[in-house]
Each structure stands twice: as C-alpha cells, then as structure tokens.
C-alpha cells in the first residue's frame, strides 16, 4: 500500500443514501459520493478503496487492511458511531490520518445520543453537517496532510 491508498468507509444504512430520510441526508446517492471522492483521490494520486457495509465485522476487516501504510481513512461510521466499540478499537490501531464524516450535523439532531460519537477520540478530525460534500473535503484534507 505504501501510503498511496485512501480508504473511504461507510457504515450501516448508507447504501440507502438518496432514499433514506432525504430531508436529513439529501438526495445524493452513495455512488455519487464515491464519484466525488474518486475525483479528489485521482487529483492527489491516491488509489481509492470505497466501501459500505451494514456488518461491523466487515468494517473492522477493512480497517485492519488500512492499519499500516494507508494514506488515510475517511469514515462515516453511521450508527456504529454510538455503539461500535470494535470499530473504535480498530481505528485506534491505524497509523494514518483519520477523518470522521457525518452528513448531518450530529450536534443538532433531535436525539441527544447522536451527538456523542465514540469514533471522535480516534479521529484526526471530524466533518459534520456539510452534507455529502464533507466526503470530498475530507479526501482533500488528507491529501494536504500528505503533501499532495
């Protein structure tokens, strides 16, 4: 991998982006998010690994792959943010920049539990509430950190 592969990882229910609660998450699909991330990754010279899962063990497996030598990780842990201790532990093992992304502003959501992501302590930084545009910004930020 040698610092040229960027992982963009997505947790549960994000496969329904564009259909699920569009008033909160918008109308863009995950395929559109991937396309935007590819543009930014290509511009920076990164190979892109873009994944979504509803199963936490798959997410942990991808984090293990990224653990040593990845250029960076952009992660929207979605509902794993609130109870995904295995994901959190796997993030702690990673030696690259990690940007946690949330499409909605988790601090303004009705449910108070949404404002407390376990992942934040493992992340280099967080983007919350900028819609799907937050993903491209996260990729661009990692590229900047890597001098690209």
**Three-state DSSP state, 119:** helix
148: in domain: no
- pLDDT exceeds cutoff 60 at 24: yes
What is the CATH number for 57?
3.40.50.9100
Calculate what percentage of the chain has a pLDDT beyond 70: 99
114: annotated binding-site residue? yes
Q: pLDDT tens across 41-97, in order?
A: 999 999 999 999 999 999 999 999 999 999 999 999 999 999 999 999 999 999 999
The C-alpha atoms of residue 38 and residue 80 are separated, in whole angstroms, by: 24
Band the pLDDT of 36: cuts 50, 70, 90: very high
Calculate what percentage of the chain has a pLDDT beyond 90: 84
Band the pLDDT of 22: cuts 50, 70, 90: confident
Degrees to nearest 5, angle at CA 36 with 32 and 53: 60
Asked whether the beta carbons of 98 and 122 are under 8 A apart, the reply is: yes
Domain of residue 77 covers 5-141
- pLDDT exceeds cutoff 80 at 1: no
* Exposure string for 99-136, b = 16+ CB within 10 A, e = fewer: bbbbbbebeeeeeeebeebbbeebbbebbbebebebbb
74: in domain: yes
Total-model pTM = 0.94
103: annotated binding-site residue? yes
Computed over every residue of the chain, the mean pLDDT equals: 94
Q: Longest Cα pair distance anywhere in the chain, in angstroms? A: 42
Neighbours of 49 (CB within 10 A): 17
Give residue 2's pLDDT.
54
- Domain count of the chain? 1
Give residue 26's pLDDT.
84
16: in domain: yes
Give residue 127's pLDDT.
98
136: in domain: yes
Give residue 67's pLDDT.
96
Question: Alpha carbon 115 to chain centroid distance?
Answer: 17
Residues annotated as part of the active site: 25, 102
53: in domain: yes
Closest CA to 98 of 116, 77, 80, 113: 77
């Amino acid at each position: 991998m040698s610092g040229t592969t960027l992982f963009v990882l997505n947790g549960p229910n994000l496969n329904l982006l564009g259909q699920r609660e569009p008033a909160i998450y918008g109308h863009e699909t995950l395929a559109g998010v991937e396309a935007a991330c590819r543009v930014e990754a290509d511009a920076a010279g990164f190979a892109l690994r873009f994944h979504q899962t509803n199963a936490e063990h798959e997410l942990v497996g991808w984090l293990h792959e990224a653990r040593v030598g990845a250029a960076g990780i952009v992660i929207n842990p979605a509902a794993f943010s609130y109870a995904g201790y295995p994901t959190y532990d796997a993030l702690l093992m990673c030696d690259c920049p990690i940007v946690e992304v949330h499409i909605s502003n988790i601090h303004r959501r009705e449910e108070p539990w949404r404002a407390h992501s376990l992942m934040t302590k493992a992340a280099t930084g967080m983007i919350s509430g900028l819609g799907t545009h937050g993903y491209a910004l996260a990729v661009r930020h990692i590229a900047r950190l890597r001098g690209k």
